[in-house]
Structure 1
Amino acid sequence: MPKDKKPPLGLESPTLSLPDKAPNQCSEQDQDPTRKRLLQSYLLKVDLHLLPISFMVYFFSVIDRNNIGNAKLAGMPEHLNLHGQQFNWIVSSFFFTYIFFEIPSNYCLRQLGARVWLPVITIAWSVLVACMACAKSYGALVAVRVLMGCFEAGYVPGFIYLCSFWYTRKQIAPRLALFFSAGMFAGIWAGPLAARLQKIKGGLEGYQYIFLIEAAITVGLALIMWVVLDNYPETARFLTAEERAAGLRMLSEDKTQSARAPFRPQQVLGALSDWTLWGYAVIFWASALGGATQAIFGPTLIAAMGYESTHAQVLSAIPSACGFVVQIASMFFPRIHSRYSPWIMVCSGLACAFYAVIASVESTKVRFAFLCLANAALSPNMPLVSMWMSMNVLGVTKKGVAAAVTVMFGGVSGLIGAHVYRERDYPRYRFGHIFVCACNALIFLVALALQLYFRWENRRRDKKAGDGVVVVDGSAMSENVIEETDDKRPDHRYTW
């Protein structure tokens, strides 16, 4: 192509070249008012079509997953004659399939598109939640929860993967924080909502109304999602041609892969061999374990402090509210300090200390207060590690695998977390508190290890570039080469 002509807007290929200016410098194109206006319009429209409905579906997915804990206080164990550790196994059975269906679900999303796949799995798990109201035995509840895990497994990694096609890596960060805050927001409303639903007078048990009504709401949201979602910017119905071109150009400049890049099954093993991917997953696992135990056993822990069941349902909203506020605030953490590992280390260190206090003191009021503080401290780490991963992982296949594996480990946390607060530890549940304390110590250590590695790797790449090892010829890389090199490409620098 002649030098005086440029490729069509939005169609440039990323180039294998080192930046010739500081990353925070703006080009003349970035300052162009027309382009700026188009990008603002692009982001506003994408946000309105993706975020509200995704937030609400995740809100109810967390409620649907954890309302088994509210059903326990509403009399389900007595009605179904559950005993011993049967309730714990009902809780954990969900995660037996949840942990294995993350990657297959992302592959199906890639093949069918988010507009079809996400509503389909949402309706499927909602129908199964309603089926829990009809279950008459321990075995039936386990079977339904196992099937629920198959479908709900795909929602969170599917949303993370979907965002990678619409936003730059920096733009994804605050949106992931907002998305994950829906989980804490669900914790605020789950207890009071369940307390109200279990009081409905009719021919069913109170816990059955919890399952049926919450499932019906989620089905309605799935239908709305099918109407408003689009798969990719290239095919978005709600964008003008100019907005689409400006958005695609922005994504190309960020080295974000386009929707045309294929998902490459042969590269899955290569992605799984990267130890840093497992580091993110371990942090997500340990963070999710604290959140899962709070969501499922929060009402039980509060009831064990001496509160009657309906009151405990309502009081369980307070620790969740503390977590929700801090999780929303975590959207702005990178603006205060642009590194992710220090924030994760601070939050995990505080959570570790707070759980140690809960496990060691006798006072009910002190334990409840530190339960609120612990929930606030552990809540930012899931969105923070997801942001961190989205900043560092490149390539369609690797990004999809990373999102799936990370959330898969979140499922493992639910499987284990269902058994750390044991009935034989009533009323103090000291073992569970110590276990979550140890998980937060592990987060601190893994975040430190990743930080040290990324800083070393960045210095190594800088040295190679300074020695002239990287050949910069200005030639465009093909999509195949971009996909094969992912974040190992020499012009990429890790955020630590």
Structure 2
Amino acid sequence: MSAIENPPVPAQEIQNGYPKPSAVHLDAPCEKLEKIHNGDTALALFASDDWDGNIDPTAERRLVRKIDLMILPFLAVCYAFYYIDKTTLSYAAIFGIVEDLNLQGTQYSWLSSIFYFGFLVWAFPTNFLMQRFAVGKYLGVNIFLWGFFLMLQAAVKNFTQLAVLRAISGAAEACSDPSFMLITSMWYTRREQPIRIGLWYTANGFGIALGGLLGYGIGNIKGALASWKYEFLIIGALCALWGLIMIAFLPDSPVTASNLTQDEKRLAVERLRDNQTGVENKTLKPYQVWEAIFDWKVWMLFILGVVANIPNGGISNFGTLIIKGFGFSTLITTVMQIPYGALISILILISIWINDRLPPNNRCYVAVLFLLPNVAGAFGLGFLHPDNKVGRLICYYLTGSYNASFVLILSILTANTAGHTKKVVTNAMIFLGVCAGNIAGPFFYKTEQAPTYPLGMWSMIVSHLAEIALLLSLRFLLWRENRHRDRIQGILRDDGQVDAHAAAARQRDLDATAFSDLTDKENLNFRYIY
């Protein structure tokens, strides 16, 4: 279902169920604008003839630094609050909320999971609203709301009230990760995306460390309220304030950013041409919804979201209880989260550094590499003697390495999905998997098995071994798909050699399909990154 009217070249006839690609070379930006209908919003920047399409490397480096300052601090701080917000219940647990609300049986586990039920229910609607509205403003409003509802949790009197507010908070937070990924794909090349995702995701670790510091400070407040109430009030107020700041200052896209000149906007978009994923399209395209739903890659990413977050659902809500089980006091338990968060940040930075210096298409291998410490840590927590507190603490810290792996999984998702509506649906589906994993995770941590939680440890081991198998399978399938497309376009000959003429023709044709809002399946010029 191409948005370009010109017929495809004969070498690209339909094969094996693939539609004919729209790889037609168009010589001028104005001609592109005439040929492409309902394409990307970026096309409006090239409506005049005064842009030659040349990219000056010095100007590009200067612009990328400017973009980094415009985007990354907002996403990083937001992501730190995002993780602090998710762990407030964990700190409230050691500050006495279980006793004050008289939580019984699995009610604490349900409070951990019900947050993600709200996230789950609102995942698709919020992603479609994100496409309809300015993404920066929409994200800021939702951050303000999740802070507001977090503050209200300080006023609850029983399990039911807290459960309702946590479900609403989950719904408000449902746009966070998908919007971060959408923003990253709008502003950065596919080569740059793992580094930028890693940089804002590193704030996850800082969030854990900062949450420990805040928890320690809040635990020392001697006021009229219980400590867990101050936890909700203070963290909620900070989140709400940051939401207002993002509404005011976070740009919505390279096309509309008020602090970029017209030439800077064009350069910001032009350098994304090779991505073949576009910038933004405000029209909901039903065929792209269906394509996402029936795309095997999306379902593999969905399952990856599930198995990668079963461990997260347990550790993020029971981590403080595991550490307290080593014999530490309540306040020391909060402090012991600081090195855990710092280690996560360091591992994320190391993973993106390694990935950036390897040849292309090694992301799945690096992701597997950073799952191995987590598997080792889970085995240690499951089998080391309970009296070996130092060894068990080290193993607990090793479980943070999955965050580095998940950064690369997110970069695989952003790099391999084209068509704006399809991106929105794919983001929603992977985070449905994230929700399912986080919902299931806490229920592997049985109250009667505290503080060692052997079933919880086995859930981590099995989940990460399944994740390794999925990553290796995904890599093979994407590699095979790229070779299949090379054969369709005549780039890869029957003897296995590359046809230089066909490869050069494809490179020229990238101009025609870059901003036509084609999906990765429609556009045979698209090549997957793995």
With normalisation by structure 1, the TM-score equals 0.89
Residue in structure 1 matched with residue 474 of structure 2 by the alignment: 450
The answer to whether the 8 Å contact 1:102/1:157 transfers is: no
Letter in 1 for 2:29: P
The answer to whether the 8 Å contact 1:109/1:158 transfers is: yes
Letter in 1 for 2:389: T
Aligned mates of 1:448, 1:250 — CA distance in 2 = 31
Residue in structure 1 matched with residue 487 of structure 2 by the alignment: 463
The answer to whether the 8 Å contact 2:309/2:441 transfers is: no
Deviation at 1:476, TM superposition (A): 8.2
Residue in structure 2 matched with residue 494 of structure 1 by the alignment: 528
The answer to whether the 8 Å contact 2:381/2:396 transfers is: yes
SS in structure 2 of the partner of residue 418 of structure 1 = helix
Aligned mates of 2:143, 2:60 — CA distance in 1 = 31
Q: Residues 249-304 of structure 1, C-alpha deviation per residue, up to 9 Å, x if partnerless?
A: 11234323133463323421211211111212322332233233222211100111
Residue in structure 1 matched with residue 106 of structure 2 by the alignment: 85
Instruction: Find the partner of 2:235 among 214, 232, 237.
Output: 214
Are 1:144 and 2:160 matched, yes or no? no
Q: Residues 460-482 of structure 1, C-alpha deviation per residue, up to 9 Å, x if partnerless?
A: 22222337999969678877994
Residue in structure 1 matched with residue 21 of structure 2 by the alignment: none
Unaligned runs of 5+ in 2: 1-24, 37-51, 495-501
Q: Residues 4-28 of structure 1, C-alpha deviation per residue, up to 9 Å, x if partnerless?
A: 98437997989xxxxxxxxxxxxxx
Aligned mates of 1:134, 1:383 — CA distance in 2 = 36
Instruction: Find the partner of 2:464 among 440, 445, 448.
Output: 440
Letter in 1 for 2:440: I
Residue in structure 2 matched with residue 353 of structure 1 by the alignment: 376
Residues 5 and 104 of structure 1: is their aligned pair in 2 closer, same or farther, counting only changes over 3 Å? closer
Are 1:258 and 2:279 matched, yes or no? yes
SS in structure 2 of the partner of residue 259 of structure 1 = coil
Aligned mates of 1:265, 1:357 — CA distance in 2 = 48
Residue in structure 2 matched with residue 426 of structure 1 by the alignment: 450
Letter in 2 for 1:90: L
Deviation at 1:485, TM superposition (A): 4.2
Instruction: Find the partner of 1:194 among 194, 215, 219.
Output: 215
Q: Residues 190-233 of structure 1, C-alpha deviation per residue, up to 9 Å, x if partnerless?
A: 12311211221221111111110111111111111111112121
Letter in 2 for 1:495: I
Instruction: Find the partner of 2:304 among 273, 283, 303.
Output: 283
Letter in 1 for 2:238: I
SS in structure 2 of the partner of residue 164 of structure 1 = helix
Residues 241 and 485 of structure 1: is their aligned pair in 2 closer, same or farther, counting only changes over 3 Å? closer
Deviation at 1:178, TM superposition (A): 1.2
The answer to whether the 8 Å contact 2:288/2:419 transfers is: no
Deviation at 1:152, TM superposition (A): 0.5
Are 1:365 and 2:386 matched, yes or no? no
Letter in 2 for 1:352: V
SS in structure 2 of the partner of residue 235 of structure 1 = coil
Residues 292 and 318 of structure 1: is their aligned pair in 2 closer, same or farther, counting only changes over 3 Å? farther
SS in structure 1 of the partner of residue 370 of structure 2 = helix
Letter in 2 for 1:310: L
Residue in structure 1 matched with residue 338 of structure 2 by the alignment: 317
Residue in structure 2 matched with residue 183 of structure 1 by the alignment: 204
Aligned mates of 1:41, 1:13 — CA distance in 2 = 33
The answer to whether the 8 Å contact 2:312/2:441 transfers is: no
Residue in structure 2 matched with residue 7 of structure 1 by the alignment: 29
Aligned mates of 1:210, 1:4 — CA distance in 2 = 58
Residues 9 and 248 of structure 1: is their aligned pair in 2 closer, same or farther, counting only changes over 3 Å? farther
The answer to whether the 8 Å contact 2:347/2:404 transfers is: yes
Q: Residues 313-359 of structure 1, C-alpha deviation per residue, up to 9 Å, x if partnerless?
A: 11122222222210122221222323111112222233223311220
Aligned mates of 1:90, 1:438 — CA distance in 2 = 24
The answer to whether the 8 Å contact 2:289/2:425 transfers is: yes
Task: Tell me how large the CA RMSD over aligned residues is.
Answer: 2.8
Residue in structure 1 matched with residue 135 of structure 2 by the alignment: 114
Aligned mates of 2:133, 2:337 — CA distance in 1 = 39
Aligned mates of 1:263, 1:37 — CA distance in 2 = 37
Residue in structure 1 matched with residue 144 of structure 2 by the alignment: 123
Aligned mates of 1:124, 1:455 — CA distance in 2 = 42
Instruction: Find the partner of 2:122 among 88, 95, 101.
Output: 101
The answer to whether the 8 Å contact 1:51/1:179 transfers is: yes
Aligned mates of 2:430, 2:132 — CA distance in 1 = 21
Aligned mates of 1:488, 1:409 — CA distance in 2 = 25
Which moved further from structure 2: 481-490 or 50-59?
Answer: 481-490
Deviation at 1:367, TM superposition (A): 1.0
Q: Residues 63-97 of structure 1, C-alpha deviation per residue, up to 9 Å, x if partnerless?
A: 11220010010111111111221111111111112
Aligned mates of 2:458, 2:393 — CA distance in 1 = 16
Aligned mates of 2:481, 2:510 — CA distance in 1 = 25
Residues 9 and 311 of structure 1: is their aligned pair in 2 closer, same or farther, counting only changes over 3 Å? farther
Letter in 2 for 1:355: A
Aligned mates of 2:395, 2:83 — CA distance in 1 = 23
Aligned mates of 2:85, 2:238 — CA distance in 1 = 10
Aligned mates of 1:487, 1:173 — CA distance in 2 = 22
SS in structure 2 of the partner of residue 456 of structure 1 = helix
Residue in structure 1 matched with residue 43 of structure 2 by the alignment: none
Instruction: Find the partner of 1:76 among 68, 75, 97.
Output: 97
Aligned mates of 1:9, 1:425 — CA distance in 2 = 68
Residues 42 and 4 of structure 1: is their aligned pair in 2 closer, same or farther, counting only changes over 3 Å? same
Which moved further from structure 2: 48-57 or 287-296?
Answer: 287-296
Residues 253 and 347 of structure 1: is their aligned pair in 2 closer, same or farther, counting only changes over 3 Å? closer
Aligned residues: 477
Aligned mates of 2:311, 2:338 — CA distance in 1 = 16
SS in structure 2 of the partner of residue 101 of structure 1 = helix
Residue in structure 2 matched with residue 386 of structure 1 by the alignment: 410
Aligned mates of 1:296, 1:207 — CA distance in 2 = 15
With normalisation by structure 2, the TM-score equals 0.84
Letter in 2 for 1:434: W
Letter in 1 for 2:484: R
Are 1:413 and 2:434 matched, yes or no? no
Deviation at 1:132, TM superposition (A): 0.7
Aligned mates of 2:219, 2:432 — CA distance in 1 = 32
Aligned mates of 2:422, 2:95 — CA distance in 1 = 44
Aligned mates of 1:475, 1:175 — CA distance in 2 = 28
Aligned mates of 2:367, 2:97 — CA distance in 1 = 38
